[in-house]
Structure 1
């Protein structure tokens, strides 16, 4: 496998119209899960991927396995739990950042919360060139946290560990999240974190450089800055991490300009101008685009741009999981010079257009 992703996925109910949850008359069923979103996007981009998790022995579990498998993801190591249900959640329409946005989770005691080092197949989890994890899993239960610590611990021959902080305050008890998430991030090789997340979870207010100073261990640290863009820090990998990077096909990190141990960005990429339909799943799509480019050995700046392009595909559709742009289209756009990149404007349906049409749709 190119990438194995481990984490909880839930059946998502999207509203049929805007408004409060109390007023929405009907919902459309979909799927949602940070890690499986990444696996689906990478599979759609042509990579071999596996999703490892637990779901209930119920119809919602059937739907998740079938839907995620339908993207070409290997779901053969998803275990069914006869005693615990599949998690579900409902959300309102619109932007998650909107004060009126509501999400109702029904995941307590779910099948996925019973994941542990003994309830999942660790050989199957470690069978990829990259293992993608997120901080959400650590918040689900003590067993899940034990599993996360096991997977991020130093281990000879372990896969390249990709970790998305994915800070969700509502899932954590008072004061539990900061130290746990920081420790897990320090054990990973590639870390994705939003600048706002770092402030909320760790009280870091000095921007990307302050985040790097707090997290010097990862070989690659990607700091997402919302509508501003993203920056990446890197350092030459050492020991087992170097072997992991080689297995992942990363031109690594050592050859990229500015790749050293100093707390300064090695690459930056401004965000694209996007006509946003919904923001849910965009962070997962960014991680998928970045990891795809990493597996292909592309330069660090191109990895950031590929992340932005994959995120733009999700931002311009209402669901959590969207087909990424075709590789020739994404590669052509990622190779634009800086002024042309800054003039791009992407709206709904842009992934179905040819490169010339996309380039012509520019911001005035």
Structure 2
């Protein structure tokens, strides 16, 4: 698959970009948030085996954008997920699982000619390169998504009015790597035009998807959006940009640029200044889905009109909910509990320890040490 270059995908002219926005559109849209992207069936070994040794697998679903959608719905927001799945049993499973979490799937299309994507994953952290990991602490991830139903998304197969039907449209860089049509769709949805919703973009650089292609496309797309999430490590890998200030210089257009730096915390740049919030200590059970959970927590707090520091703290708390359970999607923290923890003074926040203990239907408790 070759990405188009030249006039079909120009770098945006900063003068053509919409004015930076820090205020959400009025709360009159049908949905609080619309999330668009691929969701696949994920198969995990039932035990700690490597893929070569596993005989029994547990089935689930996984997709960066639908993970965010499920967490936002669990936090009480009106959410729609838009994607494309095969007219097959795995497609049935994806739709049933996401709908069961309170997410609208009425705009998802079924493709009778292409399959639903599938991937296999062991436990552990994602490898930072495209090579098969030799470190047993790193996850093996094996994708079967080439030619998937989702890769057929394009401006011709996705109704822009559906995608723009929320107060926020959340996208990720994974979609841009799936096909030329998917890339064109993201350029279409992020084009400056009147009435466009607030655009949220998680860079989500996946080394294997960009092999032999230029991930500067992700920088172009990020410049067209209002809220951008990027990991410090992926910025170095994708663009060779190192450091929070250097990233803001490369991405001055977004109203909010959130730079995540693992266990060290997250920094948000806005037109009003910069806020850094350290990450709380977390007892990690499963490392999958924390980045999507952070975005969901931040967006939920944004939809509620909370101040920037609280948005970052809600991002950390929702990420902790994902880190303290196995699998891709956790239940979001109980809102009253999360609001209480997000309002702690800096000293108490610094003493926060988050673990997998739960109340009924709630997220992780914060265990505050004296």
Both structures adopt the same fold (TM-score exceeding 0.5): yes
After TM superposition, the structure 1 = structure 2 runs for residues 123-142 of structure 1, keeping only pairs within 5 Å, are: 123-142=161-180
Structure 1, residues 212-256: CA drift from partner, whole Å, max 9, x if none?
011000000000010000000012xxxxxxxxxxxxxxxxxxxxx
Unaligned runs of 5+ in 2: 1-30, 128-132
- Alignment of 1:107 onto 2:115: no
CA contact (8 A) 1:273 1:363 kept: no
- Alignment of 1:26 onto 2:60: no
Q: Which has the higher helix share?
A: 1
Correspondence for 1:249: none
Within 1, Cα distance between the matches of 2:145 and 2:218?
20
Give the 3 Å change call, closer, same or farther, for CA 363–94 of structure 1 in structure 2. Answer: farther
Give, in angstroms, the shift of residue 297 of structure 1.
0.5
Give the 3 Å change call, closer, same or farther, for CA 353–57 of structure 1 in structure 2. Answer: closer
| 3-state SS, counterpart of residue 96 of structure 2 | helix
TM-score scaled by length of structure 2: 0.87
Give, in angstroms, the shift of residue 363 of structure 1.
5.6
Give the 3 Å change call, closer, same or farther, for CA 190–354 of structure 1 in structure 2. Answer: closer
Correspondence for 2:122: 92
- Alignment of 1:232 onto 2:268: yes
CA RMSD across the alignment: 1.6
| 3-state SS, counterpart of residue 225 of structure 2 | coil
TM-score scaled by length of structure 1: 0.88
Within 2, Cα distance between the matches of 1:211 and 1:222?
10
Correspondence for 2:236: 199
Give, in angstroms, the shift of residue 285 of structure 1.
0.4
- Alignment of 1:180 onto 2:217: yes
CA contact (8 A) 1:195 1:225 kept: yes
Give, in angstroms, the shift of residue 344 of structure 1.
1.1
Give the 3 Å change call, closer, same or farther, for CA 216–76 of structure 1 in structure 2. Answer: same
Which of 328, 331, 334 pairs up with 1:320? 328
Unaligned runs of 5+ in 1: 236-258
Give, in angstroms, the shift of residue 309 of structure 1.
0.3
After TM superposition, the structure 1 = structure 2 runs for residues 114-125 of structure 1, keeping only pairs within 5 Å, are: 114-125=152-163
Within 2, Cα distance between the matches of 1:138 and 1:200?
17
Within 1, Cα distance between the matches of 2:333 and 2:54?
32
Which of 250, 263, 270 pairs up with 1:214? 250
Correspondence for 1:153: 191
- Alignment of 1:301 onto 2:309: yes
Give, in angstroms, the shift of residue 350 of structure 1.
4.0
CA contact (8 A) 1:324 1:351 kept: no
